[in-house]
Amino acid sequence: MPPVPHMTSPADPGFWRSPLRGPWLTSVLGVVLLLGITVLFVTGLLSYAAYNPNLSPVNDKTPDKGLLGFYLFDWPTDPHWLYRLNQGLHVTVGITLIPVLLAKLWSVIPKLFALPPARSVGHALERVSLLLLVGGALFEFVTGVLNVQLEYLFPGSFYPLHFYGAWVFFGAFAAHVVLRLPQVVRVLREEGWRERLRDPRPEPADEGGLVAPGAAEPTVSRRGALGMVGAGSALLLVTTVGQNFDGPLRRTALFAPHGGGDPGSGPNGFQINKTAAKVGIERQDTGELWRLVVSGPRGGEDVRLSREDLLQLSLHSAALPIACVEGWSTSDQWWRGVRLRDLAALAGFDEDPPGVLVESLQRRGAFRKAALRDNQVRDPRSLLALQVNGEDLSPDHGYPARIIVPAAPGVLNTKWVSRLTFGEL
Ligand SMILES: Nc1nc2c(c(=O)[nH]1)N[C@H]1C(S)=C(S)[C@@H](COP(=O)(O)O)O[C@H]1N2
Ligand SMILES: [Mo]
């Protein structure tokens, strides 16, 4: 039958003809998103706390996080894989949910175009909240994916964007869940899974207007449609999750950033995003003339140490991963170096060492400075590492010295360290 000419506007219910659309399909996808987005929100907030944003303005330039930062707490150093797990979950779940999110948006798209724009004040408010919901979801997923893919497209501004966006999105999301959950429970109870999956016919007409009045003949079953969404998610999962490991598994992470190229094998053969060359670290900066400057706050003398001097100090080992906010991480590596708390003692803090401001000799690009909290300085596994896996650090891993702290986000593990200032935070 040729299309009826006057049924061409998306605002017309007859425009949308898929027999699959209906409350049941939307509810199933909604339940998956409810679980997944809750994981994203919780791991996202934790990730932000892990970044020591309260030690601003060094770590974080989010202005007036004020009320939204109410929950911030001192990020612990145990278990040492805490950030690795948290961020692995955040990024992996986020990427895996993309097909589900798109399917969910597809399932309700007729509503986006429905006219009149508002039938009542209540209806108008609901539609505004849906705009925040859809806009917020797209914004969070797009900024998240861009950040993961392009290695901090917006280093300074990603955190505030993604953080504020998360709160707006989650507010609208929570309201949406409260409003819709009763209906979801009812629809899923009444319709039953098996029957609905098998039944190729449209769902019974609904008040919300999701079911197409003039539905076309089915070309794919609900089982097939959900199967395709699931297959899409599974494909993203298996091509993403490998970035949480080293070696051959990492090579299965097709979409993971490969900024530093192949790290090769050997003691220093684990993931590198930013190479020394990329951030302009020159050989002479890290050679004989390099000194670590350690200072305390009270106008005392700075202590200047060469790499030889550091190697004469008491050296300790710790097995710790690097785990980036982008969701990739390494397995535990054996780091060896000087304890941060021993360096604090050199700066005059024999007991109860305070936090420290770490500065790199790097002159351009982001992450040249990071602030660590007192609990991080005190942990005996927190090191100014000089070696890794039994060999000197490679230039790309931060030679002559880098920070490594248990359970901390990678961005706090400053490479090419040149100065430690204790107690000024
Ligand atoms: N000086 C300096 N240290 C740095 C960085 C940097 O860009 N410059 N990147 C940080 C980030 S974001 C991570 S995840 C870890 C590991 O990064 P890499 O893969 O570039 O070694 O190092 C951190 N230390
Ligand atoms: Mo990172």
* pLDDT score of 285: 92
pLDDT at 30: 97
CATH number of 283-422: 3.90.420.10
301-347 pLDDT tens trace: 899 999 999 999 999 999 999 999 999 999 999 999 999 999 999 99
Average the pLDDT over 105-114 and give the result: 92
* 3-class secondary structure, 264: coil
Q: How confident is the model at residue 258 (pLDDT cuts 50, 70, 90)?
A: low
**For a pocket test of ligand 1, which of 47, 83, 258, 273 has the largest count of ligand atoms closer than 8 A to its C-beta?**
273
Of 135-149, 190-204, 295-309, 311-325, highest mean pLDDT: 311-325
Q: What is the pLDDT of residue 98?
A: 98
What's the CA-to-centroid distance between 260 and ligand 2, angstroms?
12
pLDDT at 186 over 90: yes
What is the model's pLDDT at position 110?
Answer: 92
Pocket test for ligand 1, best of 151, 275, 320, 415 (most atoms within 8 A of CB): 415
pLDDT in tens, 8-56: 788 888 899 999 999 999 999 999 999 999 999 999 999 999 999 888 6
What backbone torsions phi and psi does residue 166 show, to the nearest 5 degrees?
A: -65, -40
Residues lining ligand 1, judged by CB closer than 6 Å?
271-274, 279, 322, 324, 360, 362, 365, 367-368, 410-411, 413-416
The SS3 of residue 370 is: strand
Ligand 1 centroid from CA 26, angstroms = 42
Strands of the sheet with 292-295, listed across from one edge: 303-305, 292-295, 417-422, 356-360, 369-372
How many A from CA of 410 to the centre of ligand 2?
5
Per-residue pLDDT tens for 381-398?
Answer: 999 999 999 999 999 999
**What is the Å distance from ligand 1's center to 411 Cα?**
6
Domain ranges for the chain, please list them.
13-243, 283-422
Q: Whose CA is nearest to atom 24 of ligand 1?
A: 414
Which atom of ligand 1 lies at the shortest distance from residue 275's CA?
20
Cis-peptide into 263, omega within 30 deg: no
For 297, counting Cβ atoms within 10 Å of its Cβ (0-12 exposed, 13-18 middle, 19+ buried), the class is middle
Tokens standing for residue 282: 């020159």
Task: Name the residue at shortest CA distance from atom 17 of ligand 1.
Answer: 273
- Expressed in angstroms and rounded, the spacing between residue 73 Cα and the centre of ligand 1 is 24
